[in-house]
Amino acid sequence: MEPQGDIAVIGLAVMGQNLILNMNDHGFTVVAYNRTVSKVDDFLNNEAKGTRILGAHSLQEMVALLKKPRRVMLMVKAGKAVDEFIEQLLTVLEPGDIIIDGGNSLFEDTIRRVKYVESKGLLYIGTGVSGGEEGARHGPSIMPGGSPAAWPHVKPIFQAIAAKVADGTPCCDWVGEGGAGHYVKMTHNGIEYGDMQLICEAYHIMKDGLGMSADEMHEVFKAWNEAELQSYLIEITRDILAKRDEDGAPLVDKILDTAGQKGTGKWTVISSQEMGIPITLIAEAVYSRCVSAMKDLRVQAAKVFPPGNCKIPGDRKRWIDDIRKALYASKIISYAQGYMLMRAAAQQYAWNLNYGGIALMWRGGCIIRSAFLGDIKKAFDKNPDLPNLLFDPFFKKAIKSCTRSWRKVVSTAVKKGIPVPAFSTALAFFDGFRSERLPANLLQAQRDYFGAHTYERVDKPRGEFFHTNWTGTGGRVASSTYTV
Ligand code: 6PG
């Protein structure tokens, strides 16, 4: 009998299982395999019962069940496990077959793996899959990149199972070569960190500054979810605030305030340092998780520096509106920074990224899905070469309408000792970005003073470098001029 399997999925943790069930719902025959083989039968006898999903108990059996070119998707932990499976798969697959990594892999690993797998005559895709368990089951956002020749073979499956926007367009399209798919997913996750931190700061001000209860904040997030901030993360925050523990108290108040992280936010910041792009909001979001994780030290520090009165006087309704505007403006900054990062990476790695297309992929299915991404899509549709989101008329107007509230919220939080690192770094970036002249002239003078690092002059063409013998005792020789 001819093999029936359209695709194999390796890894039967929740994301793998749900993707398989989603593919099955869309008429594909999926072969399921797991390193701990007992999980395969367990899956077939439970979640996959009554479906056309096939089980394999070895890689050889899995390969024999697949149509050619074989498509094998890894849904295993990022890192070593991916490399180990690639090695094993190379012994059982044939040239032309396709290996797909659907985990949160580091894009540099994906660049290396694409080259390696292609050198063996096979094709490789590294794809971001966002949306958590629910997304995987009912429609994730999928961001594939790697060997372009693999895309036509994978496209029908991925686009069928992906989330769809209102007009039916799937939240999945080809991102680019090499590690482009995983880079875009990494940036998505960095932005996810930023969005979550912004929401947490709004919550913190409302809770400690305005003294609001979980129920009251639930109402605020409910209202915010019906306007320009409408998004999955605002929606789940609304629901989290309404959730009660067994004793009837809000569950959120019982949760220890130490955040975890699996690394994609950190990678975004590391990459931004490599690219020289200020991803200040995401960086603060990552560091805020680090500060939160220092629970014991914080408890000690709170005794040494006890907080003062952080209650914010004034009309609560007005404050809530100001906080909404501060959040919205900061969010615009975060996305503007994220898009600057992707633009720099595209240049560095020679990826032809479609920025409107990325906004569309993020419009549905993924964790940062929001109405806002529809506005970003429109901005890039109008001007695909938009150098910065802040120059788009819609966002320019939006930022201008929020600035007064944004400054009011940041300055009040600072006065009251409520930490708002993401709100304030967004504002500081905005003020720096819109400054025609920054104090870097003095900085250049300092560099030249102590290290003869040279400077450019306002009254001379760019690219001409000067050195001054500041003390009269220095030499005439400058050090070489370069910027990393
Ligand atoms: C998604 C998420 C997901 C991410 C988790 C955990 O797009 O579905 O971004 O990929 O891994 O949310 O991230 P942290 O543990 O780092 O918060």
Report the mean per-residue pLDDT for the chain.
97
Residue tagged active-site, from 39, 192, 201, 266: 192
- 432-478 pLDDT tens trace: 999 999 999 999 999 999 999 999 999 999 999 999 999 988 777 77
Residue, of 76 and 476, whose pLDDT is higher: 76
pLDDT given for residue 325 in this prediction: 98
Output the CA 104–ligand 1 centroid distance in Å: 8
Ligand 1 close to Cβ of residue 366 (< 6 A): yes
Residue 207: which residues within 8 A CB-CB, separation 6 or more?
217
- Work out the number of other CB atoms within 10 angstroms of the CB of residue 473: 6
When pLDDT is averaged across residues 126-139 and rounded to a whole number, the result is: 96
Q: Is 90 exceeded by the pLDDT of residue 341?
A: yes
Atom of ligand 1 nearest to the CA of 263: 16
Whole-angstrom distance, CA of residue 99 vs CA of residue 83? 11
Helix (H) / strand (E) containing 124 = strand 123-130
pLDDT given for residue 482 in this prediction: 78
Whole-angstrom distance, CA of residue 176 vs CA of residue 187? 15
Output the CA 368–ligand 1 centroid distance in Å: 11
pLDDT given for residue 397 in this prediction: 98
pLDDT given for residue 243 in this prediction: 98
- 201-211 pLDDT tens trace: 999 999 999 99
Whole-angstrom distance, CA of residue 8 vs CA of residue 400? 51
State how far the alpha carbon of 285 is from the alpha carbons of 131, 227, 245, 329, 419, in Å. 20, 24, 28, 16, 12
Is residue 185 annotated as a catalytic residue, yes or no? yes
Q: Is 90 exceeded by the pLDDT of residue 57?
A: yes
When pLDDT is averaged across residues 136-141 and rounded to a whole number, the result is: 97
Whole-angstrom distance, CA of residue 433 vs CA of residue 427? 10
pLDDT given for residue 418 in this prediction: 98
Q: Is 80 exceeded by the pLDDT of residue 480?
A: no
Is residue 68 annotated as a catalytic residue, yes or no? no
Ligand 1 close to Cβ of residue 127 (< 6 A): no
Residues in the chain: 484
Quick check: 358 and 379 in contact, CB under 8 A? no
- 161-184 pLDDT tens trace: 999 999 999 999 999 999 999 999
Quick check: 341 and 271 in contact, CB under 8 A? yes
Output the CA 141–ligand 1 centroid distance in Å: 13
Mutate which of 14, 186, 192 to test ligand 1's pocket (most atoms within 8 Å of Cβ)?
Answer: 192
Output the CA 366–ligand 1 centroid distance in Å: 10
Q: Is 90 exceeded by the pLDDT of residue 483?
A: no
When pLDDT is averaged across residues 412-439 and rounded to a whole number, the result is: 98
pLDDT given for residue 354 in this prediction: 94
pLDDT given for residue 175 in this prediction: 97
- 224-277 pLDDT tens trace: 999 999 999 999 999 999 999 999 999 999 999 999 999 999 999 999 999 999
State how far the alpha carbon of 387 is from the alpha carbons of 175, 379, 383, 391, 425, in Å. 19, 11, 9, 8, 21
pLDDT given for residue 331 in this prediction: 98
Amino acid at 315: D
When pLDDT is averaged across residues 355-370 and rounded to a whole number, the result is: 96
Output the CA 461–ligand 1 centroid distance in Å: 47
Q: What is the DSSP string of 216-284?
A: HHHHHHHHHTTTTT-BHHHHHHHHHHH-B-TTSSBGGGGS-S-----SHHHHHHHHHHHHT---HHHHH
Mutate which of 264, 266, 286 to test ligand 1's pocket (most atoms within 8 Å of Cβ)?
Answer: 264
Q: What is the DSSP string of 168-217?
A: S-BSB---EETTHHHHHHHHHHHHHHHHHHHHHHHHHIIIIIS---HHHH
| Joined tokens for residue 76 | 């295993």
pLDDT given for residue 473 in this prediction: 86
